[in-house]
Amino acid sequence: MDIYEDLKWRGLIKDVSSPELKDKLNKGGMTFYIGTDPTGDSLHIGHFSSFLISKRLAAAGHHPILLVGGGTGLIGDPKPSAERPMITYEQVQHNYECLKKQAEDIFGFKVVNNYDWYKDMNFIDYLRDYGKYFNVGYMLNKDIIRRRLDEGITYAEFSYMILQAMDFYVLHRDHGVDMQVAGQDQWGNITAGIELTRRKCGDELYAFTMPLLTKSDGTKFGKSEGKAIWLDREKTSPYEMYQFFINSEDDKVIDYLKFLTFLSHDEIEQLAESNRVAPHKREAHKALAREVITFLHGEEAYQEALDVSQMLFSGNIRDLTYEQVKSCFSNVPSVDVTEDMMILNALVTCGAAKSNREAREFVKNGSVMVNGEKVKDEKFVVSAEHAYGNKVTVIRRGKKKYFVINHK
């Protein structure tokens, strides 16, 4: 199957700039770019779903360039509903350096920074060399601009389209880029770049967009309990990433496999059948977690995620490390304490029991575990000395209710 047909089958093509693009994609040899602004110091799983296409196209004989927009990041792509807060030059530079290293480590392709061609440009040159090619009526007709007119849009945000169009032109002029790939929300900016290049030098550029990866309710894929799933394992551990994927929606997991993995059509279709007839086995979800975590962090990290999950499932958490405990129990009820305390007081303090009387019953019945060890002695002392990293004590009441005590 040719690359174009594969991308279509995976649901990775939405808008196409020209009918000629199908043959050009299948032929190979194009230089293309895909980019993001450094609004944070790590890529997240939403970026991964987009940037992964660089690997697919490279395997088909194309040449990727990854752009991290240190210049456009200082302005900010217009949001659909409100102005995006500006961040400082220092923060943008820090984020750029982090994302550049991460993109190079994960994807292995050349990374460029559009700040390099913006930093020495003066306003007169900007208006004469680029601004004159943009008709205001044309810009107002773009979807994101039109949607913001009633709420109000600043001139800086309004100009973002010109900046991204300039990126396409400059990358074509200086790096031989002839195609751009981006999310569907960037279509207006992409076509502006195609038009700018045609008017400035007469060359024809190409582009296609990818549908945004979403959950069943239409919200963006990549968040768990309001937190982004980061590619930096210090921000999102392999265990947390494993849990995110293993709990994916049944009716979306096959879409995620198509977007986020290199599994073959036959392999994905077999997993789709398993998901249909035996969803309780979660074979598709397990494959999704395995493929993504192994690609990002390696087989050892994936095995660690499995081991931690098994420990938590069995309740045997004695061998967890301090770092694993922090990631596994980051969302459970917690309390800070400054001194040692008896187990009954500890249960009440962390919310595992309503009173000393109830706490005594829990201990007496053998339903309390501290750091994976059953506690039946009312005189047991919860202390930093025996905590994970001398900082965290994990209390389990019953089979599933966990509580954390942070020793300060």
Residue-level pLDDT, tens digit, the chain, 408 residues: 899 999 999 999 999 999 999 999 999 999 999 999 999 999 999 899 889 999 999 999 999 999 999 999 999 888 777 777 889 999 999 999 999 999 999 999 999 999 999 999 999 999 999 999 998 888 888 777 888 887 788 888 889 999 999 999 999 999 999 999 999 989 999 999 999 999 999 999 999 999 988 888 878 776 665 678 999 998 999 999 999 999 999 999 999 999 999 999 999 999 999 999 999 999 999 999 999 999 999 999 999 999 888 888 777 788 888 888 888 887 788 999 999 999 999 999 999 999 999 999 999 999 999 998 899 999 999 999 889 999 999 999 988 789 999 998
Residue 403's Cα: distance from chain center in Å?
Answer: 28
pLDDT of the residue at 64: 97
Mapped onto helix, strand or coil, the DSSP state of residue 371 is coil
Q: What does the DSSP assignment read for 38-52?
A: -SSSS-BHHHHHHHT
Residues 6 or more apart whose CB falls under 8 angstroms from that of 205 comprise 17, 168, 172, 177, 178, 179, 180, 193, 194, 197, 198
CATH 1.10.240.10 in the chain is located at 223-314
Which residues on neighbouring strands pair with residue 396, listed in sequence order?
Answer: 369, 402
pLDDT of the residue at 2: 94
CATH class of 223-314: mainly alpha
Between CA 275 and CA 342 the distance in angstroms is 48
Residue 89 structure tokens: 């030059």
Q: Which helix (H) or strand (E) holds 178?
A: none
Q: Which fold has domain 334-407?
A: 3.10.290
In terms of DSSP H, where are the helices of 261-391? 265-277, 283-297, 299-314, 322-328, 343-350, 356-364
Q: What does the DSSP assignment read for 79-146?
A: PSSSPPPP--HHHHHHHHHHHHHHHHHHH--EEE-THHHHTT--HHHHHHHTGGG--HHHHHTSHHHH
pLDDT of the residue at 224: 60
pLDDT of the residue at 151: 78
CATH 3.40.50.620 in the chain is located at 3-210
pLDDT of the residue at 200: 95
pLDDT of the residue at 225: 59
The CATH code belonging to domain 3-210 is 3.40.50.620
* Strand intervals (E) in 144-198: 179-183
Give the residue carrying structure tokens 């792509």.
Answer: 77
Question: How is residue 389 annotated by DSSP?
Answer: T
CATH 3.10.290.10 in the chain is located at 334-407
